[in-house]
Structure formats: structure tokens, C-alpha cells
């Protein structure tokens, strides 16, 4: 079976990648390594951070790797939390609290927001490329839905008439920032075969 390494320790991302890539591929992540690698995510953009993650894993494996850097941009918050989405208000703060804080912050303001995902790929020869996917939506006025993760329960996607936490994983993946970035990567990858 083909193995694809992804430089993430977020098991929700791993699950989404596994579902999107299908049963012929086994997704492996940082938790499958027999050593801890230190990744200093100090980039200012999703592209920089995705490359930092991919390079850290490539340095250890010396085989093709993917990495994902993603986050939520809220227009009324000057595009925060953005690249700080995981760390915003503290990495261990429950999303019920972070999500309510965003709902409160946009009250009476523009509700537009987007999820952004940048996938970085490094091939066997060490060549690097990034792929960006976005999904435009609105900050919902309440927390809704039990699927997905992170900010999904407040991300209202108008075509679904509900949040991305209130639809199946397949439905979310079919339009999501991660799904779109992965589709761009796969198209390029197939063409290069």
C-alpha cells in the first residue's frame, strides 16, 4: 500500500486527508514517527508555515512529504486568528470558548470569513511547491454542529445553509479549503507521473 507522510500531529486533519485520499493510500503523520521532531512555526504566512513543517519532516525521512497549514480569517477581526488559529487564546483553551469569543467579536459587524489551507509538498529530490485552497463563509450567530473540529461549529457555509460542523465529513471535504488545496496538489501530481 502506498504511504503518504503528512507533517501534522492534528489527528482531525489526518482523518480528513485519509478520507479524501481513499483506501489505496495510508496516511502517516508525526505521531507515527519513532522520534519527536521540533517544528518552530514562526512563519508570517500559511505558505511559510506549511513549508517549515514539510522541511522538518523531510529532513528526517528524506522521502516525499506533505504538510498543511491552515486557519480561519475573520474580516471584522483584521483576518485574525489567521496563521495563529491553533494558538489563538491559548492552544489548550476549549473551542467552545474560542468560538463564542469570535461570535461576540463580530456582533453587529461584517460576518464574512474564510478558511485557508496551504499544502506544501516536497518531492524525493527536495523540490518544494505549495497549493492554496479557500472556502468563503460567514461567522454564524451560534455554535452549531458536532462534526469537524476547531472553528467548524461557527463557520456557516451559505450553500449548505448551516455550518461545516453540521454536515458529513464527505460533504465538508467536497468544498473545504483542505479539499481544494489537496485537489490542486493531486492534479499537479497526476500530471507529473
C-alpha 87/C-alpha 175 separation (Å) is 25
Residue nearest to ligand ITT (CB): 150
* C-alpha closest to that of 143 among 106, 178, 95, 181: 95
Minimum gap (Å) between residue 113 Cβ and ligand ITT: 11
C-alpha 190/C-alpha 193 separation (Å) is 5
Cβ distance to ligand ITT smaller for residue 54 or 64: 54
The reply to whether 115 sits near ligand ITT by the rule CB under 6 A is: yes
Q: Provide Rg for the chain, Cα atoms.
A: 17
Minimum gap (Å) between residue 110 Cβ and ligand ITT: 20
C-alpha 64/C-alpha 62 separation (Å) is 7
Cβ distance to ligand ITT smaller for residue 13 or 140: 13
133-147 burial, b for 16+ CB within 10 Å, e for fewer?
A: bbbebbbbeebbbee
Do residues 13 and 68 make contact, with C-beta atoms less than 8 angstroms apart? yes
The reply to whether 68 sits near ligand ITT by the rule CB under 6 A is: yes
Half-sphere exposure of 4 (CA within 13 A, CB side): 25
Question: What are the cell numbers at 100?
Answer: 463564542
Question: Which position among 24, 68, 69, 141 bears the catalytic label?
Answer: 69
The reply to whether 73 sits near ligand ITT by the rule CB under 6 A is: no
The reply to whether 137 sits near ligand ITT by the rule CB under 6 A is: no
Query: Residue 175 burial by CB count (10 A; 0-12/13-18/19+): exposed, middle or buried?
Result: middle
Choices 4-12, 57-65, 99-107, 184-192 (CB under 6 A): range interacting with ligand ITT? 4-12
Choices 17-25, 54-62, 99-107, 142-150 (CB under 6 A): range interacting with ligand ITT? 142-150
Q: Which of residues 10-39 bind ligand ITT (CB under 6 A)?
A: 10, 13
Cβ distance to ligand ITT smaller for residue 10 or 24: 10
Active site residue 36: no
Interface residues toward ligand ITT, by CB under 6 A = 8-10, 13, 68-72, 85-86, 115, 148-152, 176, 178
Residues with catalytic function: 69
Amino acid at each position: 500500500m502506498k504511504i503518504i507522510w503528512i507533517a501534522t500531529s492534528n489527528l482531525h486533519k489526518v482523518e480528513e486527508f485519509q478520507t479524501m485520499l481513499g483506501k489505496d493510500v495510508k496516511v502517516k503523520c508525526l505521531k507515527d514517527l519513532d522520534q519527536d521532531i521540533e517544528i518552530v512555526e514562526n512563519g508570517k504566512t500559511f505558505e511559510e508555515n506549511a513549508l517549515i513543517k514539510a522541511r522538518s519532516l523531510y529532513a528526517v525521512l528524506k522521502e516525499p512529504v506533505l504538510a498543511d497549514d491552515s486557519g480561519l480569517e475573520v474580516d471584522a477581526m483584521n483576518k485574525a486568528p489567521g496563521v495563529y488559529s491553533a494558538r489563538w487564546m491559548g492552544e489548550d483553551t476549549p473551542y467552545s470558548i474560542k468560538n463564542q469569543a469570535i461570535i461576540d467579536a463580530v456582533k453587529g459587524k461584517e460576518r464574512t470569513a474564510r478558511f485557508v489551507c496551504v499544502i506544501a509538498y516536497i518531492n524525493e529530490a527536495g523540490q518544494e511547491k505549495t497549493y492554496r485552497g479557500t472556502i468563503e463563509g460567514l461567522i454564524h450567530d451560534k455554535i452549531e454542529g458536532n462534526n469537524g473540529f476547531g472553528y467548524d461549529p461557527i463557520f456557516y457555509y451559505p450553500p449548505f445553509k448551516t455550518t461545516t460542523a453540521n454536515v458529513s465529513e464527505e460533504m465538508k471535504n467536497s468544498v473545504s479549503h483542505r479539499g481544494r488545496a489537496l485537489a490542486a496538489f493531486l492534479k499537479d501530481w497526476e500530471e507529473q507521473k
